Structure 1
């Protein structure tokens, strides 16, 4: 039997059902129904709470990120007091998406629903859809309909590549794939509508809360070729000359442009990204007189070589490396070395080479004035998962110096912290929002053993190897917002530590979250490095202090009815 609109949207109680901490700077509000999710999201967007940085709605939760642990605690106390019964205002009218219903799975969906192909098309076009939340990729909106006539499971075997513009169904949701990507949804058609376009003032065609109407059309034109993401466009562009800046001679293993990230866009499916070691980025910028948020080069494992175009002032911080300057190509002038965490001059035509780190993993090279590349959503950082921002640096590429210098003078040499050096790196954690999916033995096992960073790790997340952690619950968790530092545990039991480029939502339970004060340290652990986690007191944690170490937490006793899973 088809559900009514109210039942399909699960209009809830008008109150936040519960609040779970998600690390030290975020909280996860649990709601009784999708109607409450949309109402809370709209309320927080219209009337932000003090210290609120970002809001991310999901199937049954809303993740609220704060600017500090203190703000997160105040937000957690305020959320249960909010009244969600006020009507949700819809802005922007109705978005029509013309669709050709020729999907590979149309016949299968027709069989599963019993509607037949024509009935599937009629059901899909005959109702309004609401963008409940975003995730998976920028511009990918989870659309809820007015009934559940088209509820179907995901494919048993996901496709390795779904084309851009594919119109799909999964569960009670519909969606349009904004770009070519893997996917397990049932494909029923395609559209030429651009769901994500950085050339628009609002890149997402449909934002959370937006209403969507699909219209059936005949095939008349080929799908417009998918526009390359910003990173790919930058990679294909010819090298441009810069009157003042740097030329990349060798990028080493991987070198990226990074700043402090693009917070505030999680609702569009975009993570904050930014430098993995934020303190080192700030230190490098401070040394050359830049604004703290100026763009720098983040490089992994040494090997970066840059040549000055015009006289430049640089500083290198982060993982300590040897810094060698070569004057010209003829070898007539002897090489010289310069120290880490100290401003120095690189004269026109001179080449700077970064050696292999003695400890740590990521070094940061700041250029006075900052690296001048076009910002995307307010940030010059590279997001490797979403494909936003500049492409990884390539040999021969020119980088212009910008105008981000804040001072007429450079900074004094600074003392750097210790970086992981082959021993065990201790990272403090607090219980995650889904620690109740694990028993006392698993909570103890998380901190009782040493975990090794696997080679498959990257800026999205660190894959860890050790003795698997056993869940006490089977089944899937409804997708919900995630944070940097989250330790998500897939079914095989080996945790994944989310870093700056992590997906904004996830469907695996988070057993613990690395405290914000230790995220920079986590970003410096190399491939093959060893990590030990240690429980910390959430209430004593601050931006500069990981908090007081504590005994392992008792296994949660939250009942099934109190968990939105």
Structure 2
């Protein structure tokens, strides 16, 4: 059976005391590294090994917590190395059951604009907005072309972190088309809840108000985190996004933003989602064609 080669260097294994094993699959982020992390951690979950407490996949790495009284760390490391070579070489028919999600975003909104203007001294170029800066350094003709690029191809959730429920999302395009921006020179002490930000090659929606250093591009009307679990989408979990989710960020106007905010406040908002099977081999063979078929599902 043909396999999807990841072309990655050998993984690096480190012990964190007796309870943790950290595995770095690559020093830089790539879709191939994340696919490999998903495959290994997925196979490890299926084994239901006694003594494993938690499995935490990340962008290009993962960490496993264990109970050393039930499972020796060296034995687990040996099993992880075996999975690196077996589960890490993805068969051509390997698929990830997941979902594609429509995520509306109001770009260049008044709330994140007010915030970013308060922190221009923290920025690389205080003379322009974050959107204008990102468009320029990525070679776009202007902000509209940048927004078209962001909304033109979906993103995959590679991990949750930083604060509970924050989805790190990597755009599903070839590396030469990745949008990349640096973090602020000095982090802000304020970021609006639901702000849509970009840092490195990752897009995020901030779950709660707080500090942050990603460039601010807009705001989402719907939360990604609901501690009260008031909204239907949060009935089972306080965080809506899940690793391997595929998100389509969709530009909306102020009228649609206000309408959706009204649904959130009334407790009736639901994300528009559809179940899909994500095939890494099909995606890597034809990213644009695969993305078109994914977006047609919505």
TM-score category (smaller protein): 0.5 to 0.7
Is 2:132 the counterpart of 1:107?
yes
Q: 1:85 aligns with which of 81, 85, 89?
A: 89
Q: 2:204 aligns with which of 161, 172, 175?
A: 175
8 A Cα contact 2:98 2:244, kept in partner: no
Distance 2:148 2:90 in 1: 33
Aligned partner of 2:172 in structure 1 is 146
Distance 1:111 1:14 in 2: 32
Aligned partner of 2:45 in structure 1 is 45
Distance 1:63 1:57 in 2: 6
Aligned partner of 2:147 in structure 1 is 121
Please show how residues 212-227 of structure 1 align to structure 2 within 5 Å: 212-220=247-255, 221-222=257-258, 224=261
Q: 1:25 aligns with which of 12, 19, 30?
A: 19
8 A Cα contact 2:164 2:239, kept in partner: yes
Please show how residues 252-271 of structure 1 align to structure 2 within 5 Å: none
Please show how residues 13-412 of structure 1 align to structure 2 within 5 Å: 13=7, 17-32=11-26, 33-68=33-68, 70-82=71-83, 83=86, 84-86=88-90, 89-102=95-108, 104=113, 105-115=130-140, 116-147=142-173, 148-198=177-227, 199=229, 200=234, 201-220=236-255, 221-222=257-258, 224=261
Distance 1:170 1:24 in 2: 34
Structure 1 position 19, deviation (Å): 1.6
8 A Cα contact 1:18 1:80, kept in partner: no
Task: State the number of aligned residues.
Answer: 217
Structure 1 position 13, deviation (Å): 4.3
8 A Cα contact 2:166 2:204, kept in partner: yes
Distance 1:119 1:162 in 2: 25
- The answer to which structure, 1 or 2, has the higher relative contact order (CA under 8 A, 6+ apart) is 2
Structure 1 position 154, deviation (Å): 0.6
Distance 2:7 2:17 in 1: 27
Distance 1:121 1:11 in 2: 32
CA RMSD of aligned residues (A): 2.5
Residues 73 and 175 (structure 1), Cα distance of their counterparts in 2 relative to 1, 3 Å cut: same
8 A Cα contact 1:55 1:65, kept in partner: yes
Larger CA deviation: 133-142 vs 189-198: 189-198
Distance 1:192 1:121 in 2: 17
Distance 2:149 2:46 in 1: 33
Structure 1 position 224, deviation (Å): 4.4
Structure 1 position 212, deviation (Å): 0.8
Aligned partner of 1:533 in structure 2 is none
Q: For structure 1, list consecutive stretches of 5 or more residues without a partner in the other structure.
A: 1-9, 228-565
Deviations 1:405-454 (A, max 9, x none): xxxxxxxxxxxxxxxxxxxxxxxxxxxxxxxxxxxxxxxxxxxxxxxxxx
8 A Cα contact 1:129 1:146, kept in partner: yes
**Secondary structure of the structure 2 residue equivalent to 1:209:** coil
Structure 1 position 20, deviation (Å): 1.1
8 A Cα contact 2:5 2:90, kept in partner: no
Distance 1:57 1:77 in 2: 18
Deviations 1:200-250 (A, max 9, x none): 21322211111111111101244849x9xxxxxxxxxxxxxxxxxxxxxxx
8 A Cα contact 2:166 2:206, kept in partner: yes
Q: For structure 2, list consecutive stretches of 5 or more residues without a partner in the other structure.
A: 27-32, 114-129, 265-298
Residues 26 and 189 (structure 1), Cα distance of their counterparts in 2 relative to 1, 3 Å cut: same
Structure 1 position 46, deviation (Å): 3.4
Give me the TM-score of the superposition, normalised by structure 2.
Answer: 0.66
Higher helix share: 2
Distance 1:161 1:153 in 2: 18
**Secondary structure of the structure 1 residue equivalent to 2:96:** coil
Which is greater in Rg?
A: 1
Residues 54 and 113 (structure 1), Cα distance of their counterparts in 2 relative to 1, 3 Å cut: same
Residues 162 and 149 (structure 1), Cα distance of their counterparts in 2 relative to 1, 3 Å cut: same
Distance 1:161 1:40 in 2: 37
Distance 1:164 1:90 in 2: 30
Distance 2:45 2:96 in 1: 12
8 A Cα contact 1:25 1:71, kept in partner: no
